[in-house]
Structure 1
Amino acid sequence: MEARRLNDCPDWRYLLVEFYEMYRRGRAGGSAKIRAHQRVVREAVSKVMADNPVVQPQPREDKPVTAHLKRALDQGRRETTQSMIRAIESVQDDLSWLYGYEKVPRGLSQKFAYAEFVGPQGPVVSDRVILGLVLFAPKCTYPAHSHDGLTESYFTLSGAVSENDDGVFAPGSMIFNPPGRMHRLTTGDNEPTLLAYAWHGAHDKLVAQKMVFTRRKKEQP
């Protein structure tokens, strides 16, 4: 049986269109670096759609935090991100929620998971860019980590998140992390938080990214 491709799967293609529009309309706040990143992501998404890549179904997999997904999507319908929320709902039954770490810190396994949309492992198979979702439960602390050779951005779709205690990012706002930047995320007390993310970088970094948390050094007595 011939593999299905993106043009045969309208829901996945519309989801990529929503990513393109999010990175076209998203505000850069006057930052040339953020504006350049938005352009790079748009160009990568456009090339993925032009490639008409294979869509490789992933086994459905849930994690404890996905019990919060319905609420996160419901809240997102009230925001300017509602068009992206509807596109996600169209493919949510085909998502594989993962941890991505060999060792997950105690307690985090109940409050975090991610689902990839586009990337070397699929479901939309591409090595141009990695796109996906991250879901956090209320009162979640996602430990400090960084990404080697990858530029990362998050768009808040619902809920609210703080990075490095430097501010609060509400729906429609973007967090930008250049390669190697340490970042720690915390979420609000009462609602889940849903983020869309994009990773962009060299081919070898995209296909072999190792995700690890940074251990805090013990204070000297």
Structure 2
Amino acid sequence: MTDLDTAGLSVAEHRLSDLPDWGYLLREYYEAYRFLSSGGSERIRAHQRAVREAIGRVSKSNAPLRFDSPAQKPVTAHLKRALYEGLTERTAPLIRAVEAIQGFLVWQYGYEKVPRGLERKYAYAEICGPNGPILTDEVILGLVLFAPTCTYPAHAHKGISESYICLSGSVSENHQGVYAPGSMIFNPPEHMHRITVSNLEPALLAYAWVGPSELLAGQKMVFGRKRK
């Protein structure tokens, strides 16, 4: 029996205050965006503040929750390892909050056509946003899981500021530095970015998107075409 079964509530009646593990998870996202360094960048600092303020509004509103049937993808076979590795890092509080709700996550691809090979090495799970489970148009929060040696093709987001927090493993973006647990990657709107993953370990990243509510609700991701 799941926590949702024991709650004795219908889907329409679920609020953050009914299921505290989801509130704790939001709090850990908030704390990560509060305490992680901006590296002296005013633009990144402003993004971190925007994410925190959006999370604060979601929490204060006691947002509703809607749960779809949990879904796995081939890459989620690496999730146990990714969570275990993250428990030794400074991101451990967020990792533990994810562990508490992992059984309800809906892992998906987010693309109509997934490049060959990527379907076994990548998936994401939304935690907060227009599609839930925590329903809001203020911000999108989620997790993305990569298998070792994954190459996530170049893509961009229209009108959306995006950041990743590396929770475990390590990745590189556009071959410009290596991001280990506790580090943040910031992508301004329309910035084309490509991610590569280390050879030996999976990588688990938390992400946040902020932007106009109509763009958050209708955002579609499209991979960039390879240059000939």
Same fold (TM over 0.5): yes
Counterpart of 1:204 in structure 2 is 214
Counterpart of 1:120 in structure 2 is 130
* Within-5 A mapping of 1:53-64: 53-64=63-74
* 1:167 aligned onto 2:158: no
Q: 2:227 and 2:93 mapped to 1: Cα distance?
A: 43
1:43 pairs with 44, 53, 61, which one? 53
Counterpart of 2:104 in structure 1 is 94
Alignment size in residue pairs: 218
* Within-5 A mapping of 1:151-166: 151-166=161-176
Q: 1:216 and 1:169 mapped to 2: Cα distance?
A: 24
Deviation string, structure 1 residues 151-210 (Cα, Å, up to 9, x no partner): 000000000000000000000000000000000000000000000000000011100001
* Unaligned segments of structure 2, at least 5 residues: 1-9
Q: CA RMSD of the aligned region, Å?
A: 0.6
2:87 pairs with 55, 61, 77, which one? 77
- What TM-score comes out, normalization by structure 2 length? 0.95
Counterpart residue type for residue 210 of structure 1: K
Q: 1:31 and 1:45 mapped to 2: Cα distance?
A: 21
* Unaligned segments of structure 1, at least 5 residues: none
* Within-5 A mapping of 1:124-203: 124-203=134-213
Q: 1:133 and 1:203 mapped to 2: Cα distance?
A: 20
Q: 2:203 and 2:82 mapped to 1: Cα distance?
A: 6
Identity, in percent, stands at: 60
Counterpart of 1:34 in structure 2 is 44
Q: 1:39 and 1:182 mapped to 2: Cα distance?
A: 23
Cα shift at 1:58: 1.8
Cα shift at 1:53: 1.2
Cα shift at 1:217: 2.5
Counterpart residue type for residue 102 of structure 2: Q
Counterpart residue type for residue 14 of structure 1: Y
